[in-house]
Structure 1
Amino acid sequence: MSAYGLLAGAIACEIVATLSLKAADGFSRLLPSVIVVIGYATAFALLGFALQRGLDVGVGYAIWSAVGTTAVAVLGVLLFRESLSVTAIGGIALIIAGVVLIELGNRATTGSPEQPDPAAAVVHDH
C-alpha cells in the first residue's frame, strides 16, 4: 500500500477515535472507550508506516491533522448538532490552505509528493 493510502487509513482511524471520545463519556462507557484506544493506536501505527514508506513527517502530519480536524468538525455538526461559527469555518479553511501550501512546497523541493529516503533503500548484508 502507498504512503498516502496508509495515511488515509490513519486519518479514518483518528476520526473514528475522536468521535468516539464523545460517546465514551469521560471513559465511563467501556465500548466507546475501547474504540478510542484502538482507533488512536491504529492511527499512529498507520501514520508510522506511511512515514516509513517515504512520506515526509511534516507533510504527513499536516495532512493528517488538517483532514482529521475538518472531518471531525463537519461530523460534529452532522452527528451531534454542534455548530460552527463563521470564524471557525474560516479557521478550518486556513488550515486546509496551509496544508495545500505545505504539500506544494514539498513537491517543489522534492519533485514528487512522496520521495523515499535514499538511505532507507540501502540493504546491508552481514
Structure 2
Amino acid sequence: MWKRWLLLIGAIVAEVLGTMSLRAAIDAPLFIIGVVVGYVVGFALLGLALGQGIPVGIAYGIWAAAGVALVAILSAMIFGETLSFVAIIGLVTIIAGVFIVQTGQASAPKAEVLES
C-alpha cells in the first residue's frame, strides 16, 4: 500500500523539479536537461502509481494540487516571485478540495465495470 503513495510522492517531486528547472532555464539554458528529466520521471512515476491501484482522479488531483502549491512556494523562495494573501488562500482552497475529493472517494461505493 505504501509503495503506491511513495511513487506518487516521487512523481510530485520530479514534476516540481522539472517545473522549477523550466523557470531556471530562462537564465541558464542548461537547466533544460532538468526539465526533460523531471517531466519524464514525473510522468513515469505517476503511471507506476496508477498501476499500483491509486484511482486516476485521486492521483491526478493530489499530483496537480501538490505541484501547484510547491511550485508557487518554491518560486517565491528561490526566484522572489510574489505570493499574495489571495494566492495563498487559493492554494489552501485547492489543497482542501483535493482532500475532500480524496475522503469522498474512499467512502464511495465502487462502480461496476461493464464488459462488452
1:101 match: 100
Unaligned runs of 5+ in 1: 112-118, 120-126
Alignment of 1:79-98 (within 5 A): 79-98=78-97
Residues in 2 aligned to 1:44 and 1:58: alpha-carbon distance in whole angstroms: 15
Residue deviations 1:28-73, cap 9 Å, x none?
A: 71x2001101110110000000000000000000000111111111
Residues in 2 aligned to 1:9 and 1:32: alpha-carbon distance in whole angstroms: 20
Q: CA deviation at 1:110?
A: 5.7
Relative to structure 1, the CA distance from residue 77 to residue 105 in structure 2 (aligned partners, 3 Å threshold; closer, same or farther) is same
Relative to structure 1, the CA distance from residue 38 to residue 107 in structure 2 (aligned partners, 3 Å threshold; closer, same or farther) is same
Residues in 1 aligned to 2:90 and 2:80: alpha-carbon distance in whole angstroms: 19
Unaligned runs of 5+ in 2: none
CA RMSD of aligned residues (A): 1.9
Greater CA radius of gyration, 1 or 2? 1
Alignment length, in residue pairs? 110
1:17 alignment partner AA: G
Spell out structure 1 runs of 4+ moving beyond 4 A.
none
2:95 alignment partner AA: I
Residues in 2 aligned to 1:37 and 1:22: alpha-carbon distance in whole angstroms: 13
Identity %: 43
Give TM-score scaled by structure 1 length.
0.81
